[in-house]
A and B are shown apart, each in its own frame.
Chain A
Amino acid sequence: MTPSRRAGALGLALVLPPLLLLVFLIVLPALTAVFDTLAPLEGGPPGLTLARYAQVLGARIIRADITFTILVTLASVAVVFCVSYPLALYLRFVQGRLPAVLAVLFTIPLFIPVVIASFAMITFLVNHGMLSTILYRLGVQRFPPLVYNATGIVITQVWANLPFAILILGAGLQAIDDALIDSARDVGAGPVRTFLAIILPLNAIPTMITLTLLFITILGSFTIPYLVGGNAPQMLGVTMTNYLTQYFRRTDAVTMAVIAFMIAAAVGAVYVASVSRRERVAL
């Protein structure tokens, strides 16, 4: 065996366990599930059929849930991004004690189980809850409903996903060479120009990765929409669980799962493209 072949065999042996895990616990079940949704209907004509998709997508309530899921996800991603980017910039470029303390504080939600965070949010935001009580004391009479609707889901998602976004964006920002920023300043670029011409483009790949991972995480979330969301429309995670465990309609649930998977896969393609581009850039 040549050395290169031996290295290749060793490499294969090393990736084999996770590869097998991937194949048997993810790929095969997923393929079976996809096949189940396409299998011929009982008593219907033979051959694969899209009838289940037509049926699921034909139900107005499920279409409403899918639209709702995408909108809530996009809104959450947008808010997380708009809040986390300035914070990541602040932590990267400002020196001192306060940023150091904040950097620790921002990671706190990572260590709090999302169930507890959701209940905390409810107690905080609900009618007669802490926030409404404070506002009432300050003379605010009208209090908009902040939980059991899309607003509540977005607020809680932002809270839960902020540390993750700050960490990834911050890692990207750390990788930017100070020399580049200094030289931009030297030739007379202001902070805005430096940001637009240097920082934003150099941090583009971590940004894409953050956005896509946030999208996929929030799209597939269950606990937050289940606890903080309303009765209808619901996010797909909750809808699928209901169809599976409450309505005993497994195939409908699987069909919805495949639809959700396709949405996530489209976004995942962007992620894969970003990562492989980074690999090429790195080389």
Chain B
Amino acid sequence: MRWVRWVKRKRRLAAAAGMVLAVLLVGIGTSGQAGAQGTVTLNLYISGDTNIFDLYTKAFLPAFTKRYPQFKTNFVGLLHGNGDDGVYDKILAAKRAGHTVDVDLWETEPGYVDEGIPEGLWVKLSASLVPNIVKVPVQTLEAAQYYGLPYRGSSVVIGYNSQFVKNPPQTFDELVAWIKANPGKFTYCDPNTGGSGQAFVTAAIYKFTGPDKFSGKAYDPNEEAAWAPGWKLLKDLQPAMYNNGFHPNGNVAVLQLLAQQNIWMASVWSDQGLDFYNRGQLPKTMKFEQITPPLIGDDSRVTVPAGSAHLEGALTLLNWLLTPEAQNMVINEVAGYPGIDWKYMPESVRARFKDVAKAFAPYPNPKYLADIKRLWHEQVVGGQ
């Protein structure tokens, strides 16, 4: 979280000084390695959940090293982003000391990347460095200012049980009407506990304000007055929610309610929902679709530190991540969206994802998101 990092920044300066020394020592140890046997070892620091670790260690990396035998990989998993702060310190310290760093590829949240741009920490990607980048939609690259490669994505979508729902809503307004017409058969998770709940709440707010004002970097609490009609909409929906207005804790709890057929429809993460479905943990009649305007979602990006000692290898891996071979793995292993434009994907894949794979709305910035969560408790479930 960006906020946490502000607190940590003071500590970081001290840590950076210590890191310089560490990098110096490590640098001595690794510099000779590359030439010796003709293979280069790439150091990958990947933050995510265990499904993402599996995506790398069981799918991406074996295939990549088979295709490019001159590279080996050293995979470091950062579970739920634990340790991201240390990786940033390490890269920053190496940069300030003018040394290379043994981080060749880093998958992390956008906040760290933003923070490092003024420091010149990252390689700015372009078609000359990564030829396959031309297949990536320009706006997702611009969102990362070309400092990270958005190689996969996911968004919140509507999951519904087609056994009970014959004509699923196509727009947010139709969804609201459906919820009112089918009391007790829809819910979303407490927005404190999962993005799928934040998505529904944000959709209600964006309906009246649009996303632009709240997804940028600017923050002004006075602007939040515009959220009032959104709160009223959500509050009015409460009696029609599952169990007279109950919102379970976490994305998974919502999927469980769908699995037990306590509810017929909910907002769920596309990748998580499809993954549960593929593993048979949801009814066979479950379907997923994106509505208009779309719910929020996000791309996952890998970034190459400018101080990487193995730039060529890192860029080769990035380029390979955008091949159909790797992109198919994203879809098959974690049911994610491909990073490259859908038109480059095989027809069969496009058909499978046609109901969910649409553009998604941007997240509100972290401060607005914090206020949305607090005010939801105050205005929607807490007030009388």
A78 CB → nearest B CB, Å: 26
Residue B207 at the chain A interface, CB threshold 8 Å: no
Can you name the residue of chain A whose Cβ is closest to the Cβ of B246?
Answer: A148
Contacts of B249 in A (CB 8 A): 226-227
Can you name the residue of chain B whose Cβ is closest to the Cβ of A64?
Answer: B382
Interface string of A214-239 (1 = CB under 8 A from B): 00000000000011001111000000
Q: Which of A148, A227, A243, A247 has the most CB of B within 10 A?
A: A247
CB contact list, B334-384 vs A, under 8 A: 367, 370-371, 373-374, 377-378, 381-384
Asked if B243 and A247 make an inter-chain contact with CB atoms under 8 angstroms apart, the answer reads no
A146 CB → nearest B CB, Å: 11
B204 CB → nearest A CB, Å: 16
Q: Which of B3, B260, B371, B382 contacts A232 (CB 8 A)?
A: B382
Asked if B374 and A232 make an inter-chain contact with CB atoms under 8 angstroms apart, the answer reads no
Asked if B246 and A232 make an inter-chain contact with CB atoms under 8 angstroms apart, the answer reads no
Interface string of A37-78 (1 = CB under 8 A from B): 000000000000000000000011100100000000000000
Residue A24 at the chain B interface, CB threshold 8 Å: no
Asked if B383 and A61 make an inter-chain contact with CB atoms under 8 angstroms apart, the answer reads yes
Number of interface residues of B (CB under 8 A): 22
Asked if A128 and B378 make an inter-chain contact with CB atoms under 8 angstroms apart, the answer reads no
Asked if B374 and A128 make an inter-chain contact with CB atoms under 8 angstroms apart, the answer reads no
Contact status of A233 and B382, CB under 8 A, knowing A127-B262, A246-B370, A247-B371:
yes
CB contact list, B318-332 vs A, under 8 A: none
Bound Cα distance A196, B245 (Å): 47
Residue A183 at the chain B interface, CB threshold 8 Å: no
Residue B247 at the chain A interface, CB threshold 8 Å: yes
Residues of B within 8 A of A (CB): 3, 190, 192, 243, 245-249, 260, 262, 367, 370-371, 373-374, 377-378, 381-384
- Cross-chain pairs A/B with CB under 8 angstroms, 14 sampled: A60-B382, A61-B378, A127-B262, A128-B262, A148-B248, A226-B249, A231-B245, A231-B381, A232-B382, A243-B374, A246-B192, A246-B370, A247-B373, A248-B367
Known pairs A231-B246, A247-B373, A247-B374. 12 more at Cβ < 8 A?
A60-B384, A61-B382, A64-B382, A127-B262, A128-B262, A230-B246, A231-B377, A231-B381, A242-B373, A242-B377, A247-B370, A248-B370
Nearest first, the 5 A-B pairs at minimum CB distance are: A61-B382, A247-B374, A232-B381, A232-B382, A231-B381
